[in-house]
Structure 1
Amino acid sequence: MTVLRKVLSIFGTRPEAIKMFPLCHALAADARFDARICVSGQHRGMLDQVLEIAELRPDHDLDLMKPNQSLDALTSGLLTGIGSVLDAEKPDIVVVQGDTATAMCGALAAYYRKIPVAHVEAGLRSGNIHHPWPEEVNRKIVGSFARWHFAPTETAAAALRRENVEPGAIHVTGNTVIDALHWISSRIADQPSLAAGLAPVEQRFEGRRIIGVTSHRRENFGEGMASIAAAIRDIAQLEDVAIIFPLHLNPNVRKIMDSELGGLDNVALMEPLDYLHFARLLDISTLMLTDSGGVQEEAPALGKPVLVMRETTERPEGVEAGTARLVGTDRHRIVAETRRLLEDRHAYAAMARAHNPFGDGKAVPRIVDVLAR
């Protein structure tokens, strides 16, 4: 008789949901598992968009998002809230993803109850505990006691080995974000109307090269965000260029971007895009400017160069492979590197055609196989 393993997947932000939904689908469809889902609501609206698109119905929703919530208040709510869910469910395995406060607290609450933890996207390291902040420390905490470390790349696996993680607990799987992108791209191909919401801005910018922009990192708040805004304003002056910028909900982002970029004819400041429309943005963009981690993985899967507006990255594989380039938050460097890709077709082709090091879209079955064994 097969003994079912109860698996509780815990996540709370949009990036986590994107990278977890293919795994949640696979676990739910596998007769070897009793699969449950707990969401924290750390990102409310953006999380709900992914849940709807992915057709996921959480078993538990903590709904912890509050305006201007401090990290310590969020952490205390997560730890106690997730702890109550664990006490009720008593899972055999807890699965967390990445480096958010939800992931760290979910793993820690499981550790307090001696429930083994599976860490999806394990081993990412920038080497600087303040960049990205607080994510670098969050992922190191989870990595210190997880039972299964699902590393997206060999570079991530090597980082774990340097931290004396047992080699047999490390599994190189690729990144589940590529599985998710393949799933969503297939849906859009079958039903283009799902991503038709960008049609008006596509028509508005017809004949121009579109640059997609995302920016939300805490370490860039203040001077860094102001410099990024100034750089985008400069880039908007270039001939035949248009910019599509879905604005993060954080007021530290919105205030400066609305002030600097609002009203420019060839800049579209938009509400956050659901995953279907964000995949469409990646598809229609010539290149991406971002301080996000996930975009560094997603855009190369569609052959789009990425300029990373950060000083460090926990995804050095993209830089090493040539799919991404670190440009920091210096206004002049962001503009110069953008112009280089727009004006030098050889430089553009070198990045667009570089091999994506983040996987082949088969990370989920590899993870499921390990958990089943």
Structure 2
Amino acid sequence: MSAQPEPALLYSEEEEALRAAVRDLLTDHCDPADVVTRTESAAPHDVPLWKSLAGSMGLAGLLIPEELGGQGATHREAAVVLEELGRAVASVPYLTSSVVATEALLACGAEDLLGELAAATSVAVLAVGLHVAPGGAVASARLDSGYLHGELTGIADASVADVLLVPADDGGLYAVGAADATVTPQVSLDATRPLARVTLDGVAGRRLGDAEPAVRRALRAGAGLLASEQLGLADWLLTETVRYLKERKQFNRPVGGFQALKHRLARLWLEIAGLRAAARNAADALATGADTDVAVAVAQAYAAQVAVHAAEEALQLHGGIGMTWEHPVHLYLKRAKADSIAYGAAGRHRTVLAELVDLRAP
């Protein structure tokens, strides 16, 4: 039996070039003050930014094969994009449409819908609650005489979707036009990734394939690449906190020179370095198919606590200013908290990991 190759955790030159291009775009479009203002409006999604990312840069089709109009890239490149989107807490449906829904459509072989996503002419969202972990219980619509009925809650980015991918009680995954469903906004801690309730009242849908394998594949990719978003969040928070502590002075010396604060920042740096390794390993595993379930479980068992810790430290070391709406730290804290239960909480992933490596609790 041949040994599997070691995962490539370093970034390639192409990935760094992609990072630079995405960061430049986000610098132009995601000024923190603008993001704060948008979250308080009735339309929190940044549609112009999404058009630039999905259309002009072609990133919506990053995971879609070239023969279907996509870029034919891997999860490693998608992870780089999500790192930068996390750094900017950008309110765009990249994770939900270009990763999760795309993976579900790839599992079903829905070439026409994949072509639409690649061309950035539509946004697709998997109608499964954002809290559901890979392999978790999924709420299904009821299929009656060929029409779908039911209510599905906690659906991220449903308000900007053109197509909803709905699991039904016959075991199928159905494509439903979002205009045919009733999408009602729900109160969400993280206003940059809005949640909604989807109500289906005798809606016609097109059966794409079996729901169980498609949803499992989609949620696994979502969980694995969410770690890269959490990495971007944590990295921005550390960088911004260090910058602030170098500028703020007490007793005529920079606060960042105090030994106790240096220790806190050093600990956080080490945690983020570990998260970077775990997130890169998950992205590489999704790209290569090697030990994917283990890599995703490891990443999500660790990522949430690091991102939340980074946000809490940033909030405290900014003197509590994050509770002031004019400062963006509160957006990062809310995204980190919301991400900590997205695609399964850390405890769920630890349980899965224990099963995978045969270390079950007694």
Task: Bin the TM-score by the shorter chain.
Answer: under 0.3
Normalised by the length of structure 1, the TM-score is: 0.27
TM-score (norm 2): 0.28
